[in-house]
Structures are given as structure tokens and as C-alpha cells.
Amino acid sequence: MSLFRALGDAPHPQSMRDAFRRLCKRAGIGSDWHPHETRHTFVSVLSEAGQPVAAIAAAAGHKYPRITQTVYTHVISPTVKAAAEVMSDALGASPGEPS
């Protein structure tokens, strides 16, 4: 099956998944990956780099940052924790300690 049905047509989702899995296999990382996992990597890299949630949401194509926070809580949480630690240091309190 061709990746594209005809010039200008969107690729068939199953063809995209198959092509992505073949690419992953050739890269030596296995063939059980799904293209959607690249979004998690993308968000993780931006979060780890300290980008604000609003910027990550815009880059991920989310209309509202709340969507990003809800869907990627496990990725965003370390950034939020780091921000809380910075604020605690700035205010002279330890994280979890009342100021």
C-alpha cells in the first residue's frame, strides 16, 4: 500500500503507523513504537529545558495550556516542582515548609 493514495491526499493512518514502525526498526529501537509517542518526547524535551507551560502548549498545538497540563502532567510536574523550588529559594523557605 502506498503511503499516499494520490497526489495531495492525506496519508492513510495505518500506512503512517507502518512507515513509522519500519523507520524505528531500521534505527535499531524496535518496531513497537507509535507516532503519537513523539509528542510526549517533544513535550518532555521542552519541559526539561524549562519552557513555560504556555509555550509548550503553543508548540504542541494545544489551544489552552490547561490541556497540556492535563494530558502531560507526568512530564510537566518536574518543571512545576522546579519552579516551586526557585520561588521557595527566592522567598527564603524550603519546599513544603510554610513561609
Of 34, 60, 32, the closest CA to residue 47 belongs to 60
Is 92 in the same domain as 47? yes
Is 17 in the same domain as 63? no
Cα separation, 99 vs 83, whole angstroms: 16
Is 41 in the same domain as 29? no
Cα separation, 98 vs 58, whole angstroms: 34
Q: What is the mean pLDDT of the chain?
A: 80
| The pLDDT of residue 58 is above 80 | yes
pTM: 0.55
Percent of the chain scoring above 90 in pLDDT: 18
Range of the domain at 71: 37-99
pLDDT-derived band at 80 (thresholds 50, 70, 90) equals low
Is 41 in the same domain as 78? yes
Q: What is the pLDDT of residue 36?
A: 83
| The pLDDT of residue 1 is above 50 | no
Is 29 in the same domain as 41? no
Q: What is the pLDDT of residue 6?
A: 63
Is 28 in the same domain as 70? no
- Cα 40 to chain centroid distance, Å, stands at 3
Q: Rounded to the nearest 10 degrees, how much is the dihedral formed by the CA atoms of 9, 13, 19, 23? A: 120
